[in-house]
Structure 1
Amino acid sequence: MRLVFGFVLLIGIGLAGSAVYLAKDYIGQQQAQLAEAERAKQAIVPTVDVFVVNKQMRYGQRLTKEDVKLVRWPEEAVPEGAFVSEEELFPSNGQELRSVLRTMEPNEAVLAVKVTQPGQDAGISSRLSPGNRAFTIRTDVTAGVSGFLRVGDRVDVYWTGAVGEGQNLTKLIQPGIRLIGINQSADEDRNGPVVAQTVTVEVGPQQVAALAQAQATGRLSLSLVGADDSIVSSAVEVDLGDVLGIEDERIVEAPKEEKCFVRRRQGEEIISVEIPCSN
């Protein structure tokens, strides 16, 4: 009897141990699944709908509803100027379409800087900031940086002409102004070299007057500013003497010796007689 009781006890202890082991394993699996779910939850980031183009769009094309689609975009990584609603991108139910200013590749976000305002063409007027004006400068292969200029570049403008008594002078008159057109094109995506006969710049009304006066009285030359250069050129003025290293020679006249005279009458004549000066 005791032998049977001991045998049953051993079986009970074994079953209990198995149950504890299985329960521990189950609880461990549940905890692992909960941890995995928590990690997946943390990996999920808030998103918003952003309009992207569904095909390549080039300069001058009209942007229609058929050219775009909505995609989910991480909320913290939405580009500045992106369109997140149809009312923003196509006001008036698409009656006034925007024009493309820069080439966009498929699935690229539509940004405000890459399209015009509704109803505008991709011309010079669409690139002007409020209050600024477009001014065209005559140029050639040497004055125009040998064809390396592109729309969107910044240039320094130098004036060369005669001042005063025939003195030739070169002076920086407008630093860091932006090009918005080359010849008759405002396309920023033109990669081939173009020898510019004219360039159009964006300047204020006062700068327009200064450039017009300078162009009428001398020759304008352009100097290309680096893309990442944020330093504004200071005053620059050079004449032929500076180039050749010729110093101005000033002629200093020696002071003239002072002379004193007295007048005397001799008969009908008046003569001057030199005398020592009292001072």
Structure 2
Amino acid sequence: MAMRSVLVAMLGVAIAGGSAIGARHYLVATPAMSAGEPGTSLDMVQVIVANRDIPFGMEIQPSMLKVIAWPKEALPPAAVTDAKMLLPAEGQQPRRALKSISQGEIVLTSKVSGYGQKVTLVQNLAPNTRAMAIKVDAVTAVGGLVTPGDRVDIVLTQSQSGGLSATTILQNIRIVGVDQQTDERTEQSAVARTVTVEVTPEQGQALALAQKAGTLSLTLRTLDAEPNRQLDSVALEDILNAPPPPAVDAPAPEPVRTRIKVRRAGEVETVEVN
């Protein structure tokens, strides 16, 4: 039985390896179609598309790619038309996805790393921005429904002058990571302990101070391109609509009275003197 299991495992590995090699040879050997070739449309060319979803950071493998015909006039400038541009030569390190690529999507050179290039969160940040983590919990992170790619406003709640106040300090901030998860296509939500946001250097300074001043909460924005607007701080008294307590005048101090005892004809009488 043990020998049989080993043989079955070796057969499975051989089949998987043969499939990958076959897919590679098919992609590389498939000639690119172009205008003027016999038997082809004058307006169509061949392009490389994703045969399955390719998550951020995953190695590009032959089984993930396929060749389809595409209208030449609608071909994106950065589209990959030759599989040799994506698959490494023998002994060469593979290329990886710099951004998530959906099944059926044209593979663009801007979404693929160089051969053997390390892929981290840095490649997913916009120019002149920083990634910064903030502490959250089930309540402050929208019940764990925030996922990478969402946009949020950040609200600071703090004690001030003996009362509570809430202030929206940052708006339309992109979430780039939830705990260790950075895939924007993930549909699984979880209660996170940290959320990593994309901010400018100035926003990062404000966020660092705000974390020390009070509690940070996230409010999930809609998918619409809602413009930012000025929001005033809200105090607890504003929510309760409680009028300020009336001014109470201090009572006038009572006059100091001195009591003395007067003896008259054998009788003692107490008299108050102002």
**Aligned ranges 1:73-88 → 2 under 5 Å:** 73-78=70-75, 82-84=79-81
1:99 is paired with a residue whose SS is coil
Query: Which residue of 140, 144, 148 corresponds with 2:141?
Result: 144
Instruction: Write out per-residue CA displacement over residues 107-143 of structure 1, whole angstroms, 9 at most, x where no aligned residue.
Output: 4321457545654445322211121110001001110
Counterpart amino acid of residue 225 in structure 1: R
- Asked if 1:61 corresponds to 2:45, the answer is no
1:246 match? 242
Greater mean deviation of Cα atoms: 94-103 or 180-189: 94-103
> 1-side partners of 2:79 and 2:244: how far apart?
60
Cα deviation for residue 243 of structure 1 reads 0.7
Instruction: Write out per-residue CA displacement over residues 120-175 of structure 1, whole angstroms, 9 at most, x where no aligned residue.
Output: 44532221112111000100111000111111000000001123x22321000000
Cα deviation for residue 53 of structure 1 reads 2.6
**Contact kept in structure 1, 2:54 and 2:97, CA below 8 Å:** no
Gaps of 5+ in 2: 1-40, 250-274
Instruction: Write out per-residue CA displacement over residues 15-49 of structure 1, whole angstroms, 9 at most, x where no aligned residue.
Output: xxxxxxxxxxxxxxxxxxxxxxxxxxxxx662343
**TM-score under structure 2 normalisation?**
0.64
1:97 match? 95
Residues 232 and 113 of structure 1, relative CA distance in 2, 3 Å threshold:
farther
**Contact kept in structure 1, 2:157 and 2:165, CA below 8 Å:** yes
Query: Which residue of 231, 237, 248 corresponds with 2:233?
Result: 237
**TM-score under structure 1 normalisation?**
0.63
> 1-side partners of 2:176 and 2:185: how far apart?
12
1:128 match? 125
**Aligned ranges 1:199-214 → 2 under 5 Å:** 199-214=195-210
Query: Which residue of 180, 199, 214 corresponds with 1:218?
Result: 214
Gaps of 5+ in 1: 1-43, 254-279
Cα deviation for residue 90 of structure 1 reads 6.6
> 1-side partners of 2:101 and 2:46: how far apart?
22
Residues 206 and 168 of structure 1, relative CA distance in 2, 3 Å threshold:
same
Query: Which residue of 83, 89, 105 corresponds with 1:108?
Result: 105
1:261 match? none
Residues 220 and 60 of structure 1, relative CA distance in 2, 3 Å threshold:
same
Cα deviation for residue 66 of structure 1 reads 6.2
**Contact kept in structure 2, 1:101 and 1:122, CA below 8 Å:** no
> 2-side partners of 1:127 and 1:184: how far apart?
14
1:241 is paired with a residue whose SS is helix
**Contact kept in structure 1, 2:55 and 2:97, CA below 8 Å:** no
**Contact kept in structure 2, 1:100 and 1:122, CA below 8 Å:** yes
> 1-side partners of 2:77 and 2:196: how far apart?
27
- Asked if 1:188 corresponds to 2:166, the answer is no
- Asked if 1:71 corresponds to 2:68, the answer is yes
- RMSD over equivalenced CA pairs, Å: 3.3
1:46 match? 43
2:228 is paired with a residue whose SS is coil
> 2-side partners of 1:199 and 1:134: how far apart?
10
1:264 match? none
> 1-side partners of 2:230 and 2:102: how far apart?
37
1:24 match? none
> 1-side partners of 2:189 and 2:52: how far apart?
27
> 2-side partners of 1:74 and 1:183: how far apart?
42
**Contact kept in structure 2, 1:90 and 1:97, CA below 8 Å:** yes
Identical residues among aligned pairs (%):
34
Cα deviation for residue 186 of structure 1 reads 0.6
Larger Rg: 1
Counterpart amino acid of residue 82 in structure 1: A
**Contact kept in structure 1, 2:78 and 2:108, CA below 8 Å:** yes
> 2-side partners of 1:112 and 1:219: how far apart?
42
Instruction: Write out per-residue CA displacement over residues 202-235 of structure 1, whole angstroms, 9 at most, x where no aligned residue.
Output: 0011111100100011000000011224322432
Counterpart amino acid of residue 156 in structure 1: D
